[in-house]
Chain A
Amino acid sequence: MILVAFALTALAAIILVALSRTHNQMNAAAVGQALVFAALAFYILFFVRVPVDTFIVGSGYFFIDHLGLLEVLVATFIFVLAAVYARGYVGNLLISHELEAGSLKLFYAAWCLLELVIVLAFFSDNLALFWIFAEMTTVISAMLVAILSAKENIDAALKYIFVASVAMIFAFVGLIFLYEITRSALGTGTLNWTVLMANASALPSTMMAAAFLFIFIGFAAKSGIFPFHTWLPEAHAKAPSAVSAVLSGVLLNVGIYGIIRVFAIARQTAAAAIVVPVILAFGIFTIAIAAFSMLPEKNLKKLVAFSSIENMGLMLTGIAVATPLAIFWVLVQVIAHALTKASLFFSAGILHRQYRNHLSADAPDDIHDVFRFQPLAAWGIVLGGLAIIGMPPFLAFFSKFFILLSLGSISPWVLALVLVLLFIAASAFGYFVIRTFGRTTPPGEPCEPVPYHTPLSMQAPIVILLALVLALGLMFPAGGYAFITQIVTELGFS
């Protein structure tokens, strides 16, 4: 029943968007939907016994377990804040004619649909169904990227669709493989994750490795893993900042979620000997590429996007270690990354409004006097940057620390390499902040831009997210600890 509630809410929100006339009404519909979704997710968390096994849920197509619930909690939370943020941000886009008023309905309808599809993806038991929802998230979010009236946006969206969808085709070939494997090994073909987990040890290893590698290609592209990351910086940088936050904080998780699920099956077979080194290598390459791309980057949103790639790579290395400890902290890293990255994109969005560049979105940001014009956004970038590079006492410090620690158990050389790469990424962030935020106009000279009046709806999400990341880092709740331990057990890692 709970899925029906999700679907009906989304439907109601889309109808409201279609009926409403002004931007504020549409935004209210989106915020309302996000709030109801978050309320439903928290309702499941507190009042329903997970794994849920009721009507529709548990029919072989959908199910709710702790991992899916965690992802939905993070996703709905970010959607609430992003929808609130969009009120001020999209309103300003309308004023500056970067978004046509005619496209507004399409924007909010796609926004509401995207949230529904993401929730359904995380609650899919059938891997083929999950594939379809994941593919739909690509299409819908690409629409959100393309909606601004600029040719670069269309370019970025098309690149996003082609790279992600082409890779996802390979994932589907992998799923067909998997189906055939189960048909020959178990008698009846199935793609149900629960069934696959229960019978994983009976699956032949060579075929399983082939299936995993194909599936990995698809979900790696979804989560921006090298060499399929090329779409990510452009799409994240060109999208409206509210959308960038969702792309980075929620959609990348879809890919990592898929990899974790399929890896949990593959590692129980002899295929682990092939699969683990591959994942580890891709993870390290991803961190390396991201770190070295961050170093010369002059565009703030691109810098933040590359930092997402780096974090995804780190999660991948953590998955490759495959000990209960590593998986636990990978999941914490998922939370930390999603929350921090959303706040960074929110702050970057404010700066983008303040110093928007009319020439080209690729040009370096012309940021100066930032603490005078936008003190909150500036501090948001500084503190968010500290949080994302893993400074204590923010949450990402603990997850990064323990992932690195478990990497050390594989080989100290891997640990040293990843540590150096993370250090490069961190220094790239610091270098950018010091270089751009230190720029001031000497007193007496005329200051060109008028301070952009940032509405409260754009400021509050940043403060909430940073406070949350800090609070979680200082005091991780015991319930959360038990919850994530439960996920690790359900994934069969203990």
Chain B
Amino acid sequence: MVIPEDRQLNIVVAVKLVPDTNADKRIDPQTRRLVRSAAETVLNPFDEYAIEAGLQLKEQLADGSSVTIVTMAPESGKEVVRKALAMGADRAVMLSDPAFAGSDVWATAYVLAAGIRRIGFDLVLTGTQSTDAITGELPGALAEYLGVPGLTYAREIHVAAGRVRVKRETDTGYQTLSAPLPALASITKSAAEPRFASLKGIMAAKKKEIAVLRLADLEIAQAVGGDGAKLEVTELTASPARAAGKTVTAADGNAGARTIVAFLKERNLL
């Protein structure tokens, strides 16, 4: 499918709601899940880069193209989603159903794909990872389920003549990739800094639509939620407390200097 050049672009940004990294967190030992009520929920900071990229694309095209936010989250997260609207996105769709609870990456990507197909899309943008699970696997899985090219780790993104072109970050340098639309791209933190929501944006966001789609609204042909998860958390341990530091002072003289050198060598820093 080739998108004609004069067609407005339907940009869909998939975001995740995550616990605030600054908040105190507690994990329920029974369910092995995070106790959500105890932590403030925020937009996954990585996803803000994807929103910014989507908004910039929309502004560059300036042809009536739109940005839709999609997230799989309980409805209680509505006000968090509204922040994306305050940044300038046109509308949001929440995929909310108790049946989605307990989804792993695999099941989440499946549900998101069903939601995004329902919304209709030319270009899907995501962040590169979430601050809670940090698997970084969702963009690939989502592209797979949508059956579109997945251009991951984009630090620059352009759309022209029905194709998307990205500059992709790798460990050794950059690649330039291009693919026909529809497609998916994940956006890195080295793209543009996310904008602040403006007062005008906040006021406008209040009037924007946040639609809610349930399980029954989507074409779902396989198990989702905990039942559809392929990944099982078998054990959880708290990270070990940090050991007390070693203090070396001038009074330690040569012995102190040797301690510092040994410390650095041990870590291959010298």
Q: Do A and B bind each other?
A: no
